[in-house]
Amino acid sequence: MTSKVISGGRNGTVPEKFQVKDVHIAKERTLKYNSKGGAKEIRDLSLLSPPYDVTMLRSIPDISDILNQCIEAYVTNVVGFGMGIRYKVDDLDETEEMKTEWNQLESIVAELSFERPAKEVIEEVIRHVEECGNGYFEVIRNLKGEVVGIDSIKPEFISVTKLNRVQSKDGQEIKVRYFCFQDATMDSTIENGTWYKTYGDPTPLNKNGSVSSEGNGTATEVMHLKIGDFQEPYGVPRWIGPLIKILGNRKADELNYRYFTQGRHIPLAILLENAQLTEASEASLQNYANGIGSEGESQHKFLVIEAEKMGPTDDMLFDENKDKPAIKLEKLSDILQQDALFLEYDKNVIDAVLGAFRLPPIYVARSSDYTRATAETAKELTEEQVFQPQRESYSWRINSLFREYDFKYVEVFFKSSNIVNMEDIKAILDPAIQANAVAPNDLRDIVSKVLAKPLEPFDGEQYNYPNGSVQADQGMIPNALSTNADFENAQLEPGETNQLGQTVQQVSLNGAQITSLVNIVQAVASGKLPRSSALEMITAAFPFDEEKAKQILGDSNFVIADESIQKAYGQNSTSDLAATVRRLIKEVRSRDD
């Protein structure tokens, strides 16, 4: 018996356009000119080749079933909620100068682009960054030198020069590069392409790459956004690691497609030994196969294997079983289906790409086992670790465009999604409200976020303090939160020094306030309220300093000795506060036991 392997095709290698290349000089050029002061200036305009084919990188999302979703998730969550204007410091009283700056910046942002909203321009540039690692803002100035517009530039047509060190207008040395846009379909009449300079570069460069003898030149400025090392001329996409997996997944899909359109779908093999199908049987099988609906002629075939005996007839004289015909049916569909689907490979590719973008599956609709709690946790974590840092980075770059306006009070920011965990808010606010430690205006921001609409604070000083803490007739804040003199019999003598060497403050608590204090301690004991939050509530709502608040709560295990209470509040063991706290501690101890 002999055997052999039948194979076809050539050895597979990764195409050259998908392989990383060393950055090298694609075209050398040096620009020499004399500055206005007569000094000789040199600019190196040698164009560098990118490490990856940018056109190829931008085409990859079109052949991937996961990459586009991840990129759109970034664009939507970083910029998609819109741009806003805010004061750099919130707690300042608004002045006319601040209002003027607000209106001016609002007008500038609204007119940054005449063809479309500025948000769409920024979204497009961020999409370029995520697709190929590079994005370019074209910065447009008016005759005064102020930035009045932005636009996007296709990154696949941009070549970057070597690094140059130049003097800025204020005499500071800055690092700049120059950019050449070359697209034969758009700039066929411009031999050297269209030239740009780095934002903030004072070099009087013209669009054709020459130097202007007057003014700042006709070349506009570019702000280059990229992923990776800032010192490198080009960025690389964050998904460059799983690139081979993405390409392999595409090949698997193509193989599956060819399997269904060109492959032989043979679900059954009929093995005949010492026998042969009759013409009637073969016709019956053919009619059955033809009756099965299919898209192509390659589907639903039967494999018939006929075997005949070999050798002299005498060899089988004494073996009566050798001449008996045999028919066997073998199923092949299970083997073919397992071999062609590549389901496990597809899942691994998706996990790798999601990991590169640091996104949970819920952002690309890839998971069905999320609960409300796990979904909120995933959103909060991704918002904190991924999207918010991206917004801050892009906000800084957008605000840097308005340096010439010298805004002191206002800035641009990117809005975020409204993620509010009501359970956490309720756990904190319930004991705080019961302790009368929250003013009405303290809740306005929280309610504003929940309702997703702006809410202004209430007018009136009384709304800046907890209810009952301000006298309605005089509008004065008393020394203690209580204004009821009927409970002053429980107060300590002011000015006395306790055994810890501290001056005892005046303490005047009514029954409701004592109950509120007990509620706070109970909330801490049950784990519903963080200890740090309880300390802030006690010091804010009661006439106690932080040291006394800590003694009320005790240590982390809530073990407070009676003598600690006496040291803090005097030797009067019958005071309402000491007795209440002592009873509470005993109750907590009995629960723990």
**354 with 364: CB under 8 angstroms?**
yes
- Confidence tier at 316 by pLDDT (50, 70, 90): very low
**How high is the pLDDT of residue 111?**
93
Positive or negative torsion for Cα 179, 184, 187, 190: positive
For tokens 């204020």, name the residue: 170
Strands 40-44 and 30-34: antiparallel
Distance, in Å, from the CA atom of 168 to the CA atom of 24, rounded to the nearest integer, reads 28
Instruction: Indicate if the pLDDT at residue 12 is higher than 60.
Output: no
Asked if residues 582 and 568 have their Cβ atoms less than 8 Å apart, the reply is: no
Q: For residue 499, what pLDDT is reported?
A: 47
Q: At residue 456, what are phi and psi to the nearest 5 degrees?
A: -80, 150
Name which residue leads in pLDDT, 417 or 395: 395
CA-closest candidate to residue 150, choices 162, 165, 135: 135
Separate counts of helices (H) and strands (E) for the chain: 17, 17
Instruction: Give 83's strand partners.
Output: 414
Is 300:294 a contact under the CB 8 Å cutoff?
yes
Is it the case that residue 307 has pLDDT exceeding 90?
Answer: no
Q: 479 falls in which pLDDT band (50, 70, 90)? A: very low
On whether the CB atoms of residues 332 and 269 are closer than 8 A, the answer is yes
Quickly count: other Cβ atoms within 10 Å of residue 127's Cβ: 20
Confidence (pLDDT) at 481? 35
138/562 Cα distance (integer angstroms): 72
Cα 362 → chain centroid: 12
Q: Which of 11-20, 86-95, 501-510, 531-540 has the lowest mean pLDDT?
A: 501-510
Work out the pLDDT band at 492, boundaries 50, 70, 90: very low
Residue 470 has pLDDT above 80, yes or no: no
Question: Residue 84: is its pLDDT beyond 90?
Answer: yes
pLDDT of 233 > 90? The answer is yes
Lowest-pLDDT choice from 115-129, 339-353, 558-572, 579-593: 558-572
Per-residue pLDDT of 237-278, as tens digits, reads 999 999 999 999 998 888 878 777 766 566 677 777 777 777
DSSP state for residue 314 in the 8-state scheme: G
Question: What pLDDT does 349 receive?
Answer: 92
Of the two residues 210 and 455, the one the predictor is more confident about is 210
pLDDT the model gives residue 187: 58
Q: Which residue in this structure is represented by tokens 């008996």?
A: 324
Report the distance separating Cα 428 and Cα 361, nearest Å: 31
Element (H, E) at 98: helix 96-110
Q: Report pLDDT for 480.
A: 34
pLDDT band at 332 (very low <50, low <70, confident <90, very high): low
- From 219-223, 344-348, 483-487, 568-572, the region with the lowest mean pLDDT: 483-487
Q: How far apart are CA 260 and CA 105, in angstroms?
A: 59
User: 């107060």: which residue's tokens?
Assistant: 491
Cβ–Cβ contacts within 10 Å for residue 97, how many? 10
Q: How many CB atoms lie within 10 A of CB 235?
A: 22
3-state secondary structure of 249: helix
In 3-state terms, what secondary structure has residue 40? strand
The residue written with tokens 């979904």 in the block is: 375
pLDDT of residue 493: 47
Given a contact cutoff of 8 angstroms between Cβ atoms, the answer to whether 276 and 306 are in contact is yes
Mode of pairing for the β-strands spanning 326-331 and 40-44: unpaired
Higher per-residue confidence, 93 vs 165: 165
303 alpha-carbon distance from chain centroid? 54
Max mean pLDDT range (106-110, 376-380, 526-530): 106-110
Tokens (6 digits) for 556: 């982390």
DSSP 423-450: HHHHHHHHHHHHTT---GGGGHHHHHHH
In sequence order, what DSSP letters do the residues of 172-228 get, joined into one string?
A: -EEEE-EEEE--TTT-TT-TT-EEEEETT----B-TTS-B-SSTT-SPPEEEEEESS
Q: pLDDT tens-digit profile of 144-176?
A: 999 999 999 999 999 999 999 998 888 889 999
Mean pLDDT comparison of 282-291, 378-387, 419-428, 453-462, highest-scoring range: 378-387
The DSSP call for residue 394 is H
Alpha-carbon separation of residue 315 from 60, 297, 319 (angstroms): 66, 44, 8
Look at 39-43, 415-419, 507-511 and tell me which has the smallest mean pLDDT. 507-511
Q: How far is Cα 177 from Cα 47, in angstroms, rounded to an integer?
A: 10
Give start and end residues of each alpha helix (H) in 485-553: 511-525, 531-541, 546-553
Measure Cα distances from 234 to 177, 199, 259, 285 in Å.
11, 16, 40, 64
What's the rounded Cα separation, in Å, for the pair 217 and 203?
8
Average pLDDT over residues 496-523: 60
Split at pLDDT 50, 70, 90, the class of 6 is very low
Share of the chain above pLDDT 90, in %: 37
Evaluate whether 410 touches 92 at the Cβ level (below 8 Å): no
CA–chain centroid gap for 350, Å, is 17
Going by C-beta distance under 8 Å and a sequence separation of 6 or more, which residues neighbour residue 436?
466, 467, 468, 469, 481, 512, 513, 516, 541
The answer to whether the CB of 25 falls within 8 A of the CB of 233 is no
How high is the pLDDT of residue 572?
Answer: 44
Output the average pLDDT for the chain: 77
Residue 301 and residue 306: Cα distance in Å, rounded? 16
Give the per-residue pLDDT at 62: 93
pLDDT of residue 241: 93
Q: How confident is the model at residue 225 (pLDDT cuts 50, 70, 90)?
A: very high
The token duo for 445 is 């921001």
pLDDT band at 560 (very low <50, low <70, confident <90, very high): very low
The reported pLDDT for the residue numbered 584 is 52
From CA 76, how far away is CA 68, in angstroms rounded?
Answer: 12
The pLDDT assigned to 489 comes to 34
Residue 305's pLDDT is what? 60
Do strands 158-161 and 47-48 pair parallel, antiparallel, or not at all (unpaired)?
antiparallel
